[in-house]
Amino acid sequence: MKKLLLTGFEPFLHYTVNPTMKIVEELDGLVIGEYKVISKIMPVDFKVSGQQLLQFLEEIQPDAHISLGLAAGRFKITPERIAINFKDGDADNEGNKPVDELIQEAGEPGYLSTLPVREMVNKLLENGFPAEMSNSAGTYLCNNVMYEGLHYAKASNSKMLSGFIHIPASHELAIQHGNIPSWSHEDLKKSIITCIEVL
Ligand code: PCA
């Protein structure tokens, strides 16, 4: 059986819940398509999350890796096309606030997702879930983790598929936040299952 490392993030900034946490917790241990899901929750910490992902990849040696993140304000499920070699943006949960820093000194400027992102978007739409390719994962923690996964795969000559999917807020988060578009938890979860099935 192939192994999939699926990660979510803890809450951050003024988002009191992170819908990716509940999704990955509920999918942990399930077999979806050809893959057994192994789930982990990542901290929103520039100094720790990259290292932690690499540790999980070393330990688990997955055939595929998908990290999930909340993109509050987005309306659709958005597989990310590319990660860029920059850390920048709001302070993380530990107060780190890098400005224009490289993620990897000797890394490429960017890495393209090796997930079948176009097929994922097409399948989501076919199954009735609004979806769109995203051409920027930002420069915050999500881009950081996506970049580290792809850099690791390239540097270690690994055949592992790797990439990132941003999701909208859940209704639970939107009620607490007050002003962001949202999806039901069930639909968010079903759309991630759809993406895994595409693998
Ligand atoms: N979303 C943030 C970090 C954690 C998360 O779920 C991002 O888009 O970078």
Tell me the per-residue pLDDT of 124-172, one tens digit each, with 9 for 90 and over: 999 999 999 999 999 999 999 999 999 999 999 999 999 999 999 999 9
Q: Say if ligand 1 is within 6 A of residue 142 CB.
A: yes
What's residue 99's pLDDT? 98
Residues serving a catalytic function are: 80, 142, 166
Residue 130: name the closest of 120, 139, 140 by CA.
Answer: 120
Percentage of the residues of the chain whose pLDDT score is greater than 70: 100
Q: How many CB atoms lie within 10 A of CB 101?
A: 13
Three-state SS at 6: strand
Domains identified in the chain, total number: 1
Q: Rounded to an integer, what distance in angstroms lies between the CA atom of residue 153 and that of residue 187?
A: 31
Distance from residue 49's CA to the centre of ligand 1 (Å): 11
pLDDT, averaged across the chain: 98
Tokens of 61: 């040696």
CATH code at position 59: 3.40.630.20
Beta-carbon contacts of residue 94 (< 8 Å; ≥ 6 apart): 45, 46, 47, 48
The pTM of the full predicted model, rounded to 2 decimals, is 0.98
With bands split at pLDDT 50, 70 and 90, how would you rate the model's confidence at 83? very high
Tokens of 112: 């393209």
Domain ranges, residue 192: 2-198
Q: pLDDT per residue over 1-22, tens digit each?
A: 999 999 999 999 999 999 999 9
Residue 150: name the closest of 70, 54, 44, 59 by CA.
Answer: 54
